[in-house]
Amino acid sequence: MLSSPLTIIDCGASRTALAIFGLVGGRLRLEEYAVELLPTAGSADDTWPRQTAAALRALRARVNLAGRLVLVLPPHLTLTKLVRTPRVSAAKRDQIVRFEAAQGIPVNLAEVAWDTALVHEGPDGLELLLAAVKLDAVNFLVAAADEAGFDIAAILPAALTTLASYRLVRPGSGSPALVLNLGARSTTLLQVDAARFAPRTLSLGGGSLSGRRAVGEADAVTPDDFAARLGQEVTRSVMHFARQGGLGAPEHIVLTGGMARSTGLPEAIGARLKLPVERLDILGSVEVSPSATRAMQAPEACDLTDLVGAAAIELCPPHPTLNLLPASRRRRAGLRRRQAWLVAAVALVAVAGVPPILHVHNLAATTRAKTAAIEAAVAPAREREARNRAALGQLAALQHDATRLENIQQRRTGWLGLLADFQQRLVQVEDVWFERLQTIPPVGATPLKLVVSGRMLDKTNPLAKVSPETLTRVRALLAGLADSPYITAVEGERFDNSQPGILRFDFVLVTDPAHPL
């Protein structure tokens, strides 16, 4: 027998999908499914909200709603951060979490909706996941949903829905795994180690692999190119999680998301990271109704990871969960529920007669008096909270200044480290020198670039054109520079072997913003 239905809306970068779930014998069942593709996959911030609002209206016209409604945010809108607290009282823990939120969220807490979920409870304390979204973005989505006729009860981040899908498919999986939810605009990275996990959102989407690209996006890339860029980010993330959280090294990779179906991509990622790769079989853990099966056979059908994950969080506990619905909206929803019960009570009283109505009036007056007394009692506490918020704001400003000074110090020492790195790699290759090193200032969000010119001596053939061995040496030099922690890419390589015994070369180095110069 089907349990109370649950409606999930997944607002992705390239599509908006809706699904209605229920439980049958303790197993998730997908009853209804519909999807609306956005005109441009992974579209920019100024067009994505309008396109999503139009998709919500189209979905509302196609599907009859049922039960509680939960919305899943796209990864590029959500900030996630792990927070650790000692074993203290609940009140002190809330103060610590609020302080950590003020430190970890780069904007004022009054400008975001944020919440926490329990990740792990150990002997030394608690590990929590902090998630936040700008109020401007979430309020627009909530208003667009209201206009379309959706009444949102909860909002979940994609990191938790991806985790719930993985654990639904792999219950009790003991070996450390790296889960990659590849979207059109961004990638959700999850390192899962038994009961613990660590998330990160990568600004690296697979839209260019699918052929549907945003306006202004570069030409489509190959799976090998995408895997190379993804591999760098994954390596950095795994090292960070091991250093900060002590997570074990992943033993295999699990791919999910719409872009995981790209031909050749799993093989390219596995070759790059030297780990076995497999796709997450979501449908193997969910029953699907005939109508949903027909809808999923349409060309526009998308991946179900976030939809199924949200349903698992709501219907198949326990899974880590939180709610990014703005506090004002939660209060309004609670008020509506109370009003509904009040209307029913008034109707019942009207049928029963006048005496109960008088009794209700007396109760209401008593309640108002108690409410006024409570408001008077909590007024000093509210004043203290306002002072605390002001102090936290000053603390956040000081932290910002400290970070800015630290960045200045890093830039002062960055050039010394870069030149020392260059010197080491030139000594390793031998008989090579740089003649020119020129900077290209960054424009907008692009990183700083370095134009390099130099020469390599061919001792074995001083009177003839350079040998293939010399070309191999210079390519080894370029590969070594590309592996430098200060460099992310080598571009525009040019070689000139017209001079006997000398190979001239020119190339452009793209610096890593993580090591500012």
Superfamily name and number for 411-511: Ribosomal protein S6/Translation elongation factor EF1B (3.30.70.60)
Instruction: Give the architecture (CATH level 2) of 6-329.
Output: 2-Layer Sandwich (3.30)
Provide the pLDDT for residue 4: 83
Give dist(CA 157, CA 174) in Å, integer.
24
Task: Check the CA dihedral 352-358-359-364 and report its sign.
Answer: positive
Provide the pLDDT for residue 272: 93
DSSP letters spanning 410-439: HHHHHHHHHHHHHHHHHHHH-SEEEEEEEE
* Omega cis (within 30) before 318: yes
Provide the pLDDT for residue 208: 60
Burial-class residue 516 by CB neighbours within 10 Å (0-12, 13-18, 19+). Answer: middle
Start-to-end Cα distance in the chain: 64
Provide the pLDDT for residue 317: 83
Give dist(CA 393, CA 96) in Å, integer.
15
Provide the pLDDT for residue 261: 84
Tokens of 446: 């692009």
Q: What value does the CA radius of gyration of the chain take, rounded to a whole number of Å?
A: 28
Within the chain, which residue ranges are assigned CATH 3.30.420.380?
A: 6-329
Within the chain, which residue ranges are assigned CATH 3.30.70.60?
A: 411-511
Residue 259 and residue 205 in contact, taking contact as beta carbons nearer than 8 Å: yes
Provide the pLDDT for residue 451: 94
Q: Which residues contact 107 (CB under 8 A, 6 or more apart)?
A: 134
| Spans in the chain with pLDDT lower than 70 | 1-2, 41-45, 207-220, 300-301, 333-353
Q: Which residues contact 459 (CB under 8 A, 6 or more apart)?
A: 431, 501
- Say if pTM beats, i.e. exceeds, 0.85: no
Provide the pLDDT for residue 141: 93
